[in-house]
Amino acid sequence: MIENEDDRLINMLFTQLDFQKKLLEKRHTISPDDVMIDTSTKLAEACYHATCTNVELAEFIEQLYHDKLEKTDDVILELTDAFTFLLNQLLYINVIPARALGAYYSEAEKMYNATHSIKYHEIIGQYNVAIGKLYHKTRYKTWKTYTELDDNVYALIPLVDDVLITFLQLYVKLGVSSDELCEYFYRKHDINEQRQEVGGKYEKV
Q: Are the C-beta atoms of 190 and 133 separated by less than 8 Å?
A: no
Architecture of the domain made up of 5-197: Orthogonal Bundle (1.10)
Q: What is the DSSP string of 1-42?
A: ----GGGHHHHHHHHHHHHHHHHHHHH----TT-TTS-HHHH
pLDDT number for residue 1: 42
Tell me: the pLDDT tens digits for 77-101? 999 999 999 999 999 999 999 999 9
Mean pLDDT of 28-52: 88
Mean pLDDT of 129-146: 82
Q: What is the DSSP string of 134-150?
A: HHHTTT--TTS---GGG
Q: Kindly report the pTM of this predicted structure.
A: 0.90
pLDDT at 148 over 90: no
Distance between CA 55 and CA 10 in Å, rounded? 24
Q: Are the C-beta atoms of 82 and 123 separated by less than 8 Å?
A: no
Distances from the Cα of 127 to the Cα of 10, 51, 81, 113, 122, angstroms: 21, 13, 15, 17, 9
pLDDT at 137 over 90: no
pLDDT band of residue 36 (cuts 50, 70, 90) is: confident
- Residue 184: how many CB atoms within 10 A of its CB? 20
